[in-house]
Amino acid sequence: MKPAATHAFAFAALAAALAVSPRASAQHSSGTGAVVVSPADSAPPARDTPAPLAWRWKTFDMVDYGITGAAMAVALGTAIAPVPSWRWAGSLGIEDGARTLLRVDSFDGRRTAGDVSDVLLATTITAPILFDALVTSWGRRGSGEVAKQLTLIDIQTYAIVGAVTSISSSVSARERPYGANGDCGSVLDPKHIDCQLEQRTRYRSFFSGHTSLAFAGASLVCTHHARLGLYGGSGDVAACVAAMTAAGATGALRIAADRHYLGDVFLGAVTGTALGFAMPWLLHYRLPTQVKLGGASMLVVPSTNGAALTGSF
């Protein structure tokens, strides 16, 4: 997707104003990715009015759409593929101790733990889009372009994490703890969908998709707040800590619900965190915004004072 025309004109206007008159504009930077340009002779903004944000990194383009679409296709394809002939059942080493410690004794309790983990997953994966992009960036800070870029980056990251998770769970075909340890045929009807041998649900334990996606969402929250200073200061730190805590609780509840072993949850957390931080940086945050000004190609490059314009003519 090409950058919006208004996005390009905004930076072009900034460059022209800085070149023509030193009194025409004053540039201020939050130092965290938010750039504010205000006329020197205008009234200062109200104290309780948050400064608008400006996106100064690579915008979502056709390559990004291709990556996102391909990742979604891989995730869907591996999710509906038939169960492989090999099966991996049983626990490894300390997984038995963790299961004994965290697994809820009653079946109803395990089901409740699973339901709570579903709610926490929904919360952690929607938080970057709902609160960071829509409520804060667009609603409170009045920056529609930033909200759009954050939303697209979030979807892209979730698609990649989902693809990696789905490939792993499909290829490994590890049986979930409840199946390997006797729930099927005792507290669960053998004909229940979670127990049927031909169903993929029973053999998608390694690694935990709930955990990988929850930690990806938490990492996106931390990344966006660190780059853009959405709340400012301690508010950004608190948002990151809260998201990571919710992701950790999601993983622990997957063990409590007897849906995953410790190893499934641990690797899911590592994968989700690594990709949640790496993908936005690799595909967007490490790259400056490029704008066109006549025949010139100009880059808006992050600097210690906010942003700098460089280009070739």
For residue 76, what is the DSSP state? H
Please tell me the predicted confidence (pLDDT) of residue 44: 53
- Spatial contact of 17 and 24, defined as CB atoms under 8 Å apart: yes
Please tell me the predicted confidence (pLDDT) of residue 86: 87
Give the SS3 label for residue 213.
helix
Judgement on whether residues 19 and 163 belong to the same structural domain of the protein = no
Judgement on whether residues 228 and 103 belong to the same structural domain of the protein = yes
Please tell me the predicted confidence (pLDDT) of residue 223: 97
For residue 241, give the CATH number of its domain: 1.20.144
Domain of 196? 58-286
- CA distances from residue 297 to 67, 220, 313 in whole angstroms, order as listed: 26, 30, 7
Judgement on whether residues 124 and 155 belong to the same structural domain of the protein = yes
Please tell me the predicted confidence (pLDDT) of residue 8: 39
Judgement on whether residues 45 and 181 belong to the same structural domain of the protein = no
Judgement on whether residues 24 and 48 belong to the same structural domain of the protein = yes
What total of structural domains would you count in the chain?
Answer: 2
Distance separating alpha carbons of residues 142 and 238, to the nearest angstrom:
22
How many CB atoms within 10 Å of residue 173? Answer: 19
Please, which residues have CB within 8 angstroms of residue 134's CB and are 6 or more apart in sequence?
147, 151
Judgement on whether residues 122 and 147 belong to the same structural domain of the protein = yes
pLDDT in tens, the chain (313 residues): 444 433 433 334 333 333 333 333 333 434 444 444 444 444 555 556 688 999 999 999 999 999 999 999 999 999 888 888 888 988 988 999 999 999 999 999 999 999 999 999 999 999 999 999 999 999 999 999 999 999 999 999 999 999 999 999 999 999 999 987 778 878 888 777 788 766 678 899 999 999 999 999 999 999 999 999 999 999 999 999 999 999 999 999 999 999 999 999 999 999 999 999 999 999 999 988 765 444 444 555 554 445 555 554 4
Judgement on whether residues 123 and 43 belong to the same structural domain of the protein = no
Judgement on whether residues 296 and 273 belong to the same structural domain of the protein = no
Please, which residues have CB within 8 angstroms of residue 60's CB and are 6 or more apart in sequence?
1, 148, 149, 152, 153, 156, 284
